[in-house]
Amino acid sequence: MAMQRVDMLDVSSSELKEGFLPGMTDALVRECCREEKTGGQHFVIEMKPGFSTPPGYNSASMDIYVLEGSFSLGDDTLTVGCYTYIPGGMACGDWHSENGARVLFFTNKAFEYFPGEKGEIDLEAGDHIPVMESWKLSWADPMKDIVKKSTWVNPEGKQDRPPGVLTKALRKDDRTGEVIALTALSPGFIDPGTEHHPHNECLYLISGDAYIGYTYDHERKDIKEDLVLKKDHYIGRPPGIRHGPVCTQSGALWLIYLSDMYTGLYTDVDDWETRVGGYLAEANFR
């Protein structure tokens, strides 16, 4: 199922909604995107100091990543950079944040929490992932093994993948192909072409900056140019949306959702040097 197309949403400035989440009405929410057929949602909960919700269960499966602050979920405390995956129907302990938190959620269907009740675990939702401290994971460079074609040519004159992309896989579902990962781009990274995917790709910029020269659909009827993204910007891409060239001045750290294992299909961009060069020339570290 395709997510809504979102080209450049500043989540920190989007509408703060009250009573948005059934069963967790005290949560303040900034919505990123949703999938119309399944009801799947991407959003940020802002937990004010003293936020509290009793134990219960959610009918939706939840990928949870802490952006700022900390909160407790039962006996576990999640601080900045912590991640957990809770399958739909699984019992949750009480939710509490003493000093407040900003927490990113990806759900597979509409969020609906049932406080004080016991549910049945969704056997199709995959295994629970206990609280993971992402900074303890090692960075990996899987792109050279995944990407079959790129527009970049290495110093030996051969087609290659541009260096400077590292990932930490937080969740991989071998049955559905779903992937949740942290992806980092090194300062000054450039990918000169455009790519598109046969699957959903949604990204939340945790820190840093990113420039995207073109974003357009397969019919070239909805073209965006020269998008500049900063901290707390979100992108939602249904299958087939082309994007690139891409570069970053200071580096970028993303949380990424893929509805299937990564596949990138590449196309050359004739004016990539002019577009990328113009953006990088503005870098304040030069």
CATH H-level superfamily of 9-135: Jelly Rolls (2.60.120.10)
pLDDT at position 218, please?
A: 84
C-alpha torsion angle, residues 57, 256, 21, 61 (rounded to 10):
-20
The CA radius of gyration of the chain, in Å to the nearest whole number, is 19
14 burial (CB, 10 Å; 0-12 / 13-18 / 19+) is middle
Q: Is 189 helix (H, G, I), strand (E, B) or coil?
A: coil
Could you write out the DSSP letters of every residue in 69-107?
A: E-EEETTEEE-TTEEEEE-TT-EE--EEESS-EEEEEEE
Helix H or strand E encompassing 91? strand 91-92
Number of Cβ within a 10 Å radius of residue 203: 21
CA pair distance 88, 147, nearest whole angstrom: 33
pLDDT at position 91, please?
A: 97
Instruction: Quote the pTM value.
Output: 0.94
* Residue whose structure tokens are 């995107």: 33
The pLDDT-based confidence of 246 (bands split at 50, 70, 90) is: very high
Per-domain boundaries in the chain: 9-135, 137-280
pLDDT at position 176, please?
A: 87
Tell me which of 24-28, 44-48, 58-62, 153-157 is least confident. Answer: 153-157
Given a cut of 80, is residue 259 above it in pLDDT? yes
**Tokens representing residue 274 in the block:** 């002019």
- pLDDT, tens digit, for every residue of 85-135? 999 999 999 999 999 999 999 999 999 999 999 999 998 899 999 999 999
| CATH architecture, domain 137-280 | Sandwich (2.60)
Q: How many residues does the chain have?
A: 286
Contact indicator for 264, 195 with CB cutoff of 8 Å = yes
- pLDDT, tens digit, for every residue of 142-185? 776 666 556 677 788 877 778 889 999 999 998 888 999 999 99
> What's phi and psi for 200, nearest 5 deg?
-65, 145
Helix H or strand E encompassing 42? strand 41-47
Starting at the edge strand found earlier in the chain, the sheet holding 51-53 runs 51-53, 95-97, 71-73, 76-78
CATH fold match for the domains 9-135 and 137-280: yes
Peptide bond into 87 cis (omega under 30): no
* End-to-end Cα distance, the chain: 43
CA pair distance 152, 268, nearest whole angstrom: 9
More confident residue, 188 or 267: 188
